[in-house]
């Protein structure tokens, strides 16, 4: 887009058609209406007004009632069917605003201002209005919408991690104070677990108690740990990851996540063993002792514990789970090195948006605008 801005002084039939494509569709949205989205201002003031309106947290800018009778999820489902952006979303409104400009130079300049504003909102941890605040990218929507979802979700995750760290530190402090009173009868089982030696060890990063699982060696209740959140993958990143795995056969990311879960489990369940983790994380690899055990997937009774036994793949020499369990340390998820770096993800996303090819940007805005036309006018 920057290259387009620098070279947009020249003219050609192809460029002229590109300038008109979004503008023509935009005009259908306001067909028969005397409504404008821009005041009579100079270019800079006009851009400032439009950007302020688009990023307004109230979200009333360009809000309209649709003429198709589609409401809420139905309208959103339609936009997903054509791989656009939901009506009333930031992307849908942006597509209409850009359609008001009559030259590619203004479109490119406005887009650069949009990216600059996205950088500002990210640095100040302000969510983008008209985009879900959290959750995984919607792969049925256009890539631009997915990328903005990543930015919002990263902001939410950073806030959530900060709260979790403060909560963990506070809980640790309160637990030490309770333990100092030597009143073990009042200590919560969510805060402490008793080892086989009788020693009380603080649980870290415990979420909720399992309904039916206890640790095999200590008899203490098993608590589900708070684990790290998975990566936020957009359409393009999923394809890149699949190609990388096919070319290299690498499972590095999967190992990192498994090790992270093991460390979080150990922190939340002092005194646990690998069998406890397998029963929580991979139940099919564990069979209770009172169940009939047949087939080649499990060892015979000579290798079984009094409570049950692991599958063959779990006890096989050189098994990855065995190796990772031995190296895993009891570290709660919020204290571990992040598996997904929000700062790196958003900076990479903003760089992509800054240097996005004009064709890719206008194609996504065009489809989003078309869906808005059909929904609002009932075409």
Alpha-carbon distance of 309 to 72, in angstroms, equals 50
- pLDDT of 176 strictly over 70: no
Alpha-carbon distance of 300 to 293, in angstroms, equals 8
The tens digit of pLDDT for each residue in 9-42 reads: 555 554 555 455 555 545 544 444 444 455 545 5
- Region 60-87: what's the mean pLDDT? 68
% of the chain residues with pLDDT over 90: 44
- Give the dihedral of Cα atoms 231, 237, 241, 247; nearest 10 deg: -160
Q: How much of the chain is in helix, strand and coil states, percent to nearest 5?
A: 55, 5, 40
Length of the chain equals 379
For the chain, counts of helices (H) and of strands (E): 14, 6
Average pLDDT over the chain reads 80
The tens digit of pLDDT for each residue in 323-336 reads: 999 999 999 999 99
Lowest mean pLDDT among 42-56, 234-248, 257-271: 234-248
Instruction: Report whether 142 contacts 85 (CB < 8 A).
Output: yes
Q: Comparing C-alpha atoms, which of 96, 122, 106 is closest to residue 25? A: 96
CA distance to 71, 138, 145, 369, per residue, from 77 (Å)? 10, 11, 14, 15
Alpha-carbon distance of 373 to 379, in angstroms, equals 7
Instruction: Report whether 33 contacts 65 (CB < 8 A).
Output: no
- Region 353-367: what's the mean pLDDT? 91
Instruction: Report whether 84 contacts 365 (CB < 8 A).
Output: no
pLDDT of residue 34: 41
Q: Give SS3 for 277.
A: helix
Q: Comparing C-alpha atoms, which of 330, 368, 375 is closest to residue 83? A: 368
pLDDT of residue 282: 92
% of the chain residues with pLDDT over 70: 73
Alpha-carbon distance of 130 to 297, in angstroms, equals 51
Q: Are strands 286-288 and 308-310 parallel, antiparallel or unpaired?
A: antiparallel
Place of tokens 């008001």: 100
Q: Give SS3 for 272.
A: coil
Mean pLDDT is highest, among 80-94, 186-200, 239-253, for 80-94
Radius of gyration of the chain from Cα atoms?
28
Instruction: Report whether 247 contacts 231 (CB < 8 A).
Output: no
């Amino acid at each position: 887009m920057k290259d387009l801005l620098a070279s947009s002084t020249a003219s050609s039939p192809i460029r002229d058609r590109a300038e008109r494509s979004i503008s023509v569709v935009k005009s259908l949205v306001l067909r028969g209406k005397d409504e404008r989205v821009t005041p009579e201002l100079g270019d800079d003031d006009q851009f400032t007004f439009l950007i302020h309106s688009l990023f307004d947290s109230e979200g009333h800018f360009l809000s309209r009632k649709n003429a198709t009778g589609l409401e809420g999820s139905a309208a959103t489902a339609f936009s997903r069917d054509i791989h656009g952006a939901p009506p009333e979303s930031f992307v849908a409104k942006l597509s209409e605003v850009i359609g008001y400009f009559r030259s590619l130079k203004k479109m490119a300049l406005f887009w650069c201002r949009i990216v600059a504003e996205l950088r500002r909102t990210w640095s100040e941890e302000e969510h983008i209005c008209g985009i879900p605040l959290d959750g995984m990218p919607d792969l049925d929507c256009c890539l631009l919408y997915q990328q903005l979802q990543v930015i919002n979700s990263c902001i939410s995750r950073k806030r959530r991690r900060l709260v979790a760290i403060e909560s963990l530190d506070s809980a640790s402090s309160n637990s030490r104070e309770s333990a100092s009173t030597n009143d073990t009868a009042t200590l919560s089982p969510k805060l402490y677990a008793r080892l086989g030696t009788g020693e009380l060890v603080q649980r870290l990063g415990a979420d909720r108690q399992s309904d039916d699982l206890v640790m095999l060696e200590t008899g203490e209740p098993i608590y589900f740990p708070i684990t790290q959140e998975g990566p936020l993958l957009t359409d393009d990143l999923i394809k890149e990851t699949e190609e990388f795995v096919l070319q290299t056969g690498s499972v590095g990311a999967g190992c990192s996540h498994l090790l992270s879960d093991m460390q979080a489990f150990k922190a939340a369940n002092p005194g646990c063993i690998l069998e406890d983790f397998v029963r929580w994380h991979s139940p099919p690899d564990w069979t209770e002792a009172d169940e009939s055990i047949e087939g080649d997937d499990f060892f015979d009774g000579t290798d079984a514990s009094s409570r049950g036994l692991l599958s063959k793949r779990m006890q096989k020499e050189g098994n990855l789970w065995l190796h990772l369990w031995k190296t895993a340390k009891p570290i709660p998820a919020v204290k571990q090195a992040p598996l997904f770096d929000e700062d790196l993800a958003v900076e990479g996303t903003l760089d992509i948006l800054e240097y996005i090819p004009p064709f890719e940007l206008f194609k996504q805005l065009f489809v989003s605008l078309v869906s808005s036309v059909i929904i609002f006018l009932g075409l």
